[in-house]
Amino acid sequence: MALFDRFKKQGKTAEGNSETAAAFHPDLVDFHPYDTGLAPQVLSLVQEYQNRVPEQKACGRDEFIALLAGISALRRTPGIPGPDRISFTTLPRCASPEDETACRAHLEQVFGITDKRSLLDFCQQEILCNRQYLDFVAFWEGRPPFALDELNEQALAFFKTARDFSAQFYPIVGHRGYLAWDISECMGHLRSGYACGLLNRDEFDGLTEYWLDQARVFKNWGEFAASLLCGELYWDFRHDTKLPELNEGLNLYRKLVSILLDSDSAWGSGMWYVPPRD
């Protein structure tokens, strides 16, 4: 079957790896991770960071929003100042009407984003991955959110393949899953929307508050980076990327994440936001 052919020659099949999986996770149900070689690469970066975790420093709300969108800051978006011109803790604004026009044109041409509604629709339809991961976890832990016989043949085949692909990351991210990917990418698009005026300040604050609350499940940037990398791999997988290209995507995002983890002005600073108590 084509879905399985993506990994057949690259590692053990889901069934072939079931004994090892069962030994480490005896209480999980239908836990048959693919052995693609991707998870150890993520784990090595996390372990390297754990040896040099900086002391946590308090930071403000806006600074933390900017840090959560750090990957976006490393990308070149027309009209938005790059990291060579602003810090990773700054929320940029387009400097001129011409820059606003350039940014809006980019968002429309690349993502189909023209206003608040289309921005939210894009994030919902094209970015979010963690809700699928949480479905997989629910099945593994014996509390399925729906019956598999509700799915047609094609949907069932994809679900099982996606579930077994995701299983390789469960020992690394646990219940945090792909949440950092969702946070990082959505914050990045909200950052762009605010920079060019598609979102006013009140809209921006209202939309980012949800993701700030979600980020509380992470204790440090090492955990966040692991979740982001696993989410990126799943996002590529979901778009039918084959294994050689999955490694290419992982290599790119490892470089981006490493830049942020190594920078004293970004994740490497240890800055972390703790919301004020009510």
Q: Which pLDDT belongs to residue 7?
A: 52
Residue 182 in any domain: the answer is yes
Residue 230 in any domain: the answer is yes
**Residue 28 near residue 140 (C-beta atoms within 8 A):** yes
Q: What domain count does the chain have?
A: 1
Residue 82 in any domain: the answer is yes
Residue 16 in any domain: the answer is no
Residue 20 in any domain: the answer is no
Residue ranges of alpha helices (H) inside the chain are 2-5, 18-24, 38-50, 61-68, 70-74, 97-111, 116-122, 130-140, 153-167, 170-173, 179-195, 201-214, 221-238, 243-262
Spell out the per-residue pLDDT of the chain, length 278, in tens: 344 455 543 334 334 344 445 455 778 999 999 999 999 999 999 888 877 878 889 999 999 999 999 999 998 899 999 877 778 999 999 999 999 999 999 999 999 999 999 999 999 999 999 999 999 999 999 999 999 999 999 999 999 999 999 999 999 999 999 999 999 999 999 999 999 999 999 999 999 999 999 999 999 999 999 999 999 999 999 999 988 899 999 999 999 999 999 999 899 999 999 887 75
Residue 168 in any domain: the answer is yes
**Residue 272 near residue 58 (C-beta atoms within 8 A):** yes
**Cβ within 8 Å of residue 10, ≥6 positions away:** 36, 37, 243
**Residue 66 near residue 204 (C-beta atoms within 8 A):** no
Residue 199 in any domain: the answer is yes
Give the residue numbers spanning the domain of 200.
Answer: 39-48+56-89+96-267
Prediction pTM value: 0.91
Query: Using CA atoms, how far apart are residues 41 and 58, in angstroms rounded to an integer?
Result: 30
